[in-house]
A and B are shown apart, each in its own frame.
Chain A
Amino acid sequence: MSYPVEQNEKFAKYAHPERLVSTEWLAAALEGGALSDGKLVIVESDEDVLLYETGHIPGAVKIDWHTDLNDEVTRDYVDGAGFAALAAAKGISRDTTVVIYGDKSNWWAAYALWVFTLFGHKDVRLLDGGRDKWIAEGRALTTEVPQPAPGEYPVVERNDAPIRAFKEDVLAHLGKPLIDVRSPEEYTGQRTHMPAYPEEGALRGGHIPTAASIPWARAAAEDGSYRSREELEALYLGEAGLQEGDEVVAYCRIGERSSHTWFALKYLLGFQNVRNYDGSWTEWGNAVRVPIVKGAERGSVPALVH
């Protein structure tokens, strides 16, 4: 049985308030002994692989986006058996309520949440504002690493189709809305790779034709929490021009920043069909004969690809 959903004014306006919890809610749940029976598990997921070790929310376990969630050999996520083993080791069962938080406005936490969703984990929520907000509010931290009792997690095959787009899917999607969440320099193609690292970036710069540029961090307020429903609507319905019922694909460089936007579109604004293109620019910008637009204009769909 999943944990009660938080009720507050800000969340109530979102399409799926059950996908967020506030720092107050989590602190109260901790106080109430929520972690004692395995029904609620807190997961920290950061960009920096050692940040959890410097101090984390009491009782939280760590999941690293790269070493835990990605397959070590193939550019793909872990399989059903791998995910089941990971979840069980972290004390997570199939019916556990999982609250994920992390650094950088939950950028990596949203990515971990997206991977949990690929496996159909039912109740997985983000801590609004993430690690930075928790710390800014002076809440408890510990370096003590919990040793959870193993969870019971079945081997569930990943179901990519509803929320994950591959390159071919994006080609077939052209003509429908795309959101590019990278920096303006990456969008225009002014920057194709990280300076001094030509071999590590993409061979071509620019964006996927017709993609709207909404850098991911614009969905976050100064304290790292998501912006209000009204602000998000101004951004995605107003500026990006999305309309109710649209099918949307979001992308960035490797699919992490766009997970943050995917969460906002799917759960906060309620778009039913939003997919994250995790191949993103490190695939598109290296792929042969895919259409690319350079500069600040969105560009149009080339006739050839249809």
Chain B
Amino acid sequence: MSTNTLPAALAEIVDDFQALSEPERLQLLLEFSRGLPELPERLLDHPELLEQVVECQSPLFLTIETERKDDGGAPGYRLFFKAPPEAPTTRGFAGVLHEGLDGLTAAEILSVPDDMPELLGLTRAITPLRMRGMTAMLGRIKRKVAAADRLQS
């Protein structure tokens, strides 16, 4: 698997991780955990709109919203995540997916290989056990986007 099948923003993140040493990759993940945007107010007040990804060791909730394009093209999907500050690894993964996939079309998001998280080169430093959460997060996003996309067409 190479990065040339990934959406541009995600490919860039993967390249950044791969260019670093293992300890530096952990630092970069920590930066992503700090960069994860807060939930917008309308979702803060409605926790029931978020779904928990139970495979993550720490509580992670996510949802997607469809965003119509003015030019009538394929709609984009906005991604929203909620994870507590005491779960920086989970937040970091969420931050990577947010920066890499937020606003993309269903076709773009669904084209991301399921094992993309392994490209970040974190498996040894994070352990395979903890990588599961990230794979599960991506899987959940793809399932939700696929379901929403079927409703669109």
Which range contains the number of A residues in contact with the other chain? Answer: 10 to 19
Interface residues of A in 129-166 (CB under 8 A from B): none
Query: Which of the candidate stretches B11-19, B50-58, B66-74, B109-117 sits at the interface with the other chain?
Result: B50-58
Instruction: Identify the stretch in A7-15, A34-42, A74-82, A190-198 within 8 Å (CB) of chain B at 4 or more residues.
Output: A190-198
Residues of B within 8 A of A53 (CB): 26-27, 30, 88
Q: Residue on A with the closest CB to B126?
A: A49
Q: Is the CB of B88 within 8 A of A67?
A: no
Report if A305 contacts B (CB, 8 A): no
CA A210 to CA B72, docked complex, whole Å = 65
Nearest A residue to B125, CB-CB: A67
Name the residue on A nearest B135 (C-beta).
A197
Q: Within 8 Å CB of B124, what residues of A?
A: 67, 72
Say which residue of B125, B132, B136 sits within 8 Å of A49 (CB atoms): B125
Determine whether A47 belongs to the interface, using a CB cutoff of 8 Å to chain B.
Answer: yes
> CB distance B88 to A195 under 8 Å?
no
A304 at the interface (CB under 8 A from B): no
Contacts of A48 in B (CB 8 A): 57-58, 86-90
The answer to whether the Cβ of A200 comes within 8 Å of any Cβ in the partner chain is yes
**Among A50, A51, A72, A195: residue with most chain B CB under 10 A:** A50
Q: Which residues of A contact B33 (CB under 8 A)?
A: 50, 54
Please state if B88 and A51 are interface contacts (CB–CB under 8 Å): yes
B89's contact among A49, A72, A196, by CB below 8 Å, is which?
A49
Closest to A103 in B: B86
- How many residue pairs at the A-B interface have CB separations less than 8 Å? 55
Total interface residues on B, CB under 8 Å, equals: 25
Asked if A173 is at the interface (CB within 8 A of a chain B CB), the reply is: no
Q: Which residues of B contact A197 (CB under 8 A)?
A: 55, 132, 136
B40 within 8 A of A: no
Residues of A77-104 at the interface with B, using a CB-CB cut-off of 8 Å, are: 103
- Complex Cα distance, B125 from A67, in Å, reads 7
Asked if B4 CB lies within 8 Å of chain A CBs, one says no
Q: B54–A195 contact, CB under 8 A?
A: yes
Minimum CB–CB distance from B27 to chain A (whole Å) comes to 8
- Residue of B85, B88, B129 contacting most chain A CB atoms (<10 Å): B88
Q: Do A194 and B55 have beta carbons less than 8 Å apart? A: yes
Name the distance in Å between A217's Cβ and chain B's nearest Cβ: 15
- When A50-B29, A54-B30, A66-B127 are in contact, do A196 and B85 touch as well, CB less than 8 Å? no
Q: By the criterion CB–CB under 8 Å, are A50 and B86 in contact?
A: no
Among A48, A195, A197, residue most surrounded by chain B Cβ atoms (within 10 Å) = A48
| A120-B90 Cα distance, complex, nearest whole Å | 34
Chain B residues 55-107 with CB under 8 Å of chain A are 55, 57-58, 85-90, 92
Is the Cβ of A47 less than 8 Å from the Cβ of B58? yes
Given A197-B55, A197-B136, A49 contacting B130 (CB threshold 8 A): yes
Are A50 and B92 touching (Cβ within 8 A)?
yes
Q: How far is the CA of A67 from the CA of B26 in the complex (A)?
A: 13
Query: Contacts of B86 on A, CB cut-off 8 Å?
Result: 48, 51, 54, 103
Residues of A within 8 A of B27 (CB): 53
Find the B residue at minimum CB distance from A53.
B30
Taking CB atoms, residues of chain A closer than 8 Å to B125 are: 49, 67
The CA-CA distance from A194 to B26 in the complex, in Å, is 26
Query: Mask for B20-55, Cβ within 8 A of A = 1, else 0?
Result: 000000110110010000000000000000000011
Q: Closest chain A residue to B54 by CB distance?
A: A195
Q: Is B139 located at the chain interface by the 8 A CB criterion?
A: yes
6 closest cross-chain pairs (CB), A and B: A50-B88, A66-B127, A50-B89, A48-B89, A50-B30, A54-B88
